[in-house]
């Protein structure tokens, strides 16, 4: 009789312990899964935004002209922001882009000019490009592989001549 009561108490104790362990275990799983959910929710909005742009919106064929201080600006890169769709201005500063969604942003850029962004709301766009040249101070100092060498003293120079 005593033995059996002892046994029952021990089994209850182990059961309690294992229940506790399971609880903790479950807690661990919940926290990790919630962390994963958080990560997932961070990435979702950007995806939905791109879907919105592609499907719901009206598209335009955009024609534009780009000028700078000197007149028509050729070879200006024109790209739809956030895509790899783009073109260049021709010799007269003209460009054409098909199927541009309304509300999309055109990025106009060239090496040495101030980048401009234009929101597409109409079919013809005129843009003035400002050159960056004037306020860029060109500086240059390359990385050198050599270690520092002190200038020789007068005495060292004389010694070198003698040698």
Which residues of the shown chain bind another protein in the complex (CB under 8 A)?
Answer: 17, 21, 24-25, 28-29, 31-32, 35, 43, 75, 77, 79, 81-84, 86, 88, 107, 109-112, 115, 132-134, 136-150, 152-153, 156, 159-160, 163
CB burial of residue 53 (10 Å; 0-12, 13-18, 19+) = middle
Question: Quick one: 17 or 128, whose CB is closer to another protein?
Answer: 17
Q: How far is the CB of 1 from another protein (least distance, A)?
A: 29
Cα–Cα distance, 108 to 68 (Å, whole number): 12
Cβ neighbours around 94 below 10 Å, total: 13
Question: Quick one: 35 or 119, whose CB is closer to another protein?
Answer: 35
Cα–Cα distance, 79 to 106 (Å, whole number): 6
Q: How far is the CB of 44 from another protein (least distance, A)?
A: 12
Question: Quick one: 5 or 38, whose CB is closer to another protein?
Answer: 38
Q: Are 118 and 125 in contact (CB under 8 A)?
A: yes
Question: Quick one: 7 or 75, whose CB is closer to another protein?
Answer: 75
Q: How far is the CB of 106 from another protein (least distance, A)?
A: 9
DSSP 153: P
């Amino acid at each position: 009789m005593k033995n059996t009561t002892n046994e029952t108490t021990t089994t209850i104790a182990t059961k309690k312990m294992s229940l506790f362990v399971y609880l903790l275990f479950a807690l661990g799983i919940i926290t990790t899964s919630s962390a994963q959910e958080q990560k997932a929710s961070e990435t979702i909005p950007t995806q939905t935004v791109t879907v919105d742009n592609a499907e719901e919106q009206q598209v335009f064929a955009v024609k534009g002209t780009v000028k700078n201080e000197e007149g028509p600006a050729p070879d200006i890169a024109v790209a739809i922001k956030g895509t790899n769709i783009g073109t260049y201005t021709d010799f007269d500063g003209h460009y054409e882009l098909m199927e541009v969604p309304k509300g999309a942003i055109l990025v106009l850029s060239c090496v040495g000019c101030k980048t401009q962004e234009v929101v597409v709301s109409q079919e013809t766009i005129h843009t003035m490009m400002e050159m960056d040249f004037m306020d860029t101070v060109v500086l240059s100092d390359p990385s050198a592989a050599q270690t520092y060498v002190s200038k020789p003293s007068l005495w060292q120079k004389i010694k070198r001549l003698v040698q």
